[in-house]
Structure 1
Amino acid sequence: MHSFDSFFEPPFERIAEDLAHRGYSIIDCALPDDMTLQLSQRLLHLIRQDDESLQVAGIGRGDQHAQNRFVRQDKIRWLEQDNSAEKAWLEYMSELRVYLNRRLFLGLFSYESHFAHYRPGAFYKTHLDAFRGQANRILSTVLYLNKHWQTKDGGELVMYNDDQLIATVLPAYGRLVVFLSEEFPHEVNPTQRNRYSIAGWFRVNTSNNDKVDPPR
């Protein structure tokens, strides 16, 4: 288990309760302060060092994967275990996975996650992270890394349920959103300034013929 600051209590139970009762959870200050800061610094370092280390994001999966600038306009970089800040995040989410499996019997098997950078004017049109019955992405997560974000800055995450608006989430620093991937269409409104986040997905094992479905 990861050794968090003794004064920090991970909000895993609140996330589990929210998921059980409404299917999504919005948590402020979800991580220890130093972990959030290190992740923010890591992403900014990657962008300042070489913005080409982040690639234009695509839509779809496998053979259907394609870039479509009319649907989404963010740039991404997948997180790995070889950086201490990225590793700490992946360990945190691994602990959340174990907790939710024990608490809600979700059968979560793996987790994939990437940094996301939306430049001014960028957006992501309404979409689902998974389609019903495919049993791939089960639970979506977004952690925001934007200090001093204001309503005028745009870039809100907008969530729907049966075409009904249920939440408009300002991408404030340290805010974590967790939701059922198959249940909630969502979009990212055009942003008025650089917008930083970490998007991720918990998946079940959809292996066939003893071959494990890879996480990405």
Structure 2
Amino acid sequence: MDAIHFPKSCHVDQIIKDLDQQGFSIIDDVYPQEYIHALVEECTSHLNQFREAAIQNGVISKIRSDHILWINEDLEKAQQHIKMLESLGEELNQAFFLGIREVEAHFACYNAGEFYALHRDNPQQKNDRVISAVYYLHEDWQEDWGGELRLQDKNDQWHIIPPKPNRIALFQSDLLHEVLKAKHQRLSITAWLRSGNSIW
């Protein structure tokens, strides 16, 4: 399969403008259907390897109940998505001098009743996460299925972003956000564009 890119209709200039003005940007109709099908198949074929995200180093967190699988070199379809984000990171470096150097990512599965309470991906600048990117890879979603991203932008305004299939939500990793309780299985790739010397 050829390299994956943002669609021509999605201008990087608009992403940069959105991030500058409100700290987040929404991109729809990101990938061709052939790639989406392959990516969903790769994700669902590994569901039995997902682990509870709430358990880290033997400690159970009460703020989340989703399941995740970190993406490695063996997950070839997901790696194409990561390479696209790396390319986007280069564009953001030029615009904001972020020093983005790498992308880390995992598949995420929210089964019915699962959620992720209010949090920041980069609390008090304690890690190198600069930009968060959530790609919704389920192929169907209905309005009453929940699972929305609730996000506070850099102007302290709140937004509710439905997990529309083939959509990417990009936002500053220090923004407060949550995943509302899902009523149906919700699949995504959560990624972070990382830098050792990020500034805004």
Please report the TM-score for the alignment, with normalisation by the length of structure 1.
0.81
Give the structure 2 partner of residue 199 of structure 1.
190
Deviations 1:161-215 (A, max 9, x none): 4895521011111010000011x21111111111101101111126xxxxxxxxx
Residues 27 and 177 of structure 1 are in contact (CA less than 8 Å); yes or no, is this contact kept in structure 2?
yes
Mean Cα displacement is larger for which, 78-87 or 154-163? 154-163
After superposition, the Cα gap between the structure-2 partners of 1:30 and 1:11, relative to the gap in structure 1 and judged at 3 Å, is farther
**Candidates 124, 134, 140, aligned match of 1:148:** 140
RMSD, matched Cα: 2.4
Matches of 1:144 and 1:44, distance apart in 2: 13
After superposition, the Cα gap between the structure-2 partners of 1:142 and 1:4, relative to the gap in structure 1 and judged at 3 Å, is closer
| Aligned residues between the structures | 195
Which ranges in structure 2 are unaligned for 5 or more consecutive residues? none
Give the structure 2 partner of residue 58 of structure 1.
54
Give the fraction of aligned pairs with identical amino acids, expressed as a percent: 29
The one-letter amino acid paired with 1:12 is V
Give the structure 1 partner of residue 105 of structure 2.
113
Residues 11 and 30 of structure 1 are in contact (CA less than 8 Å); yes or no, is this contact kept in structure 2?
no
Which ranges in structure 1 are unaligned for 5 or more consecutive residues? 207-216
Instruction: Give 1:39 shift.
Output: 1.5
| SS of alignment partner, residue 132 of structure 1 | helix
Please report the TM-score for the alignment, with normalisation by the length of structure 2.
0.87
Residues 30 and 167 of structure 2 are in contact (CA less than 8 Å); yes or no, is this contact kept in structure 1?
yes
Give the structure 1 partner of residue 33 of structure 2.
33
Residues 110 and 182 of structure 2 are in contact (CA less than 8 Å); yes or no, is this contact kept in structure 1?
yes
Matches of 2:33 and 2:170, distance apart in 1: 19
Instruction: Give 1:11 shift.
Output: 4.0
After superposition, the Cα gap between the structure-2 partners of 1:194 and 1:133, relative to the gap in structure 1 and judged at 3 Å, is closer
Matches of 1:137 and 1:151, distance apart in 2: 30
- Which gives a bigger RCO, structure 1 or 2 (Cα 8 Å, sep 6+)? 2
Instruction: Give 1:156 shift.
Output: 0.7
**Candidates 160, 174, 177, aligned match of 1:186:** 177
Instruction: Give 1:4 shift.
Output: 4.4
| SS of alignment partner, residue 97 of structure 1 | helix
The higher radius of gyration belongs to 1
Give the structure 2 partner of residue 92 of structure 1.
84
**Candidates 47, 63, 66, aligned match of 1:71:** 63
Instruction: Give 1:147 shift.
Output: 2.6
Residues 56 and 67 of structure 1 are in contact (CA less than 8 Å); yes or no, is this contact kept in structure 2?
no
The one-letter amino acid paired with 2:27 is I
Instruction: Give 1:125 shift.
Output: 0.6
Matches of 2:196 and 2:35, distance apart in 1: 29
Matches of 1:103 and 1:73, distance apart in 2: 36
**Candidates 163, 177, 183, aligned match of 2:169:** 177
Deviating 4+ runs (over 6 angstroms): none
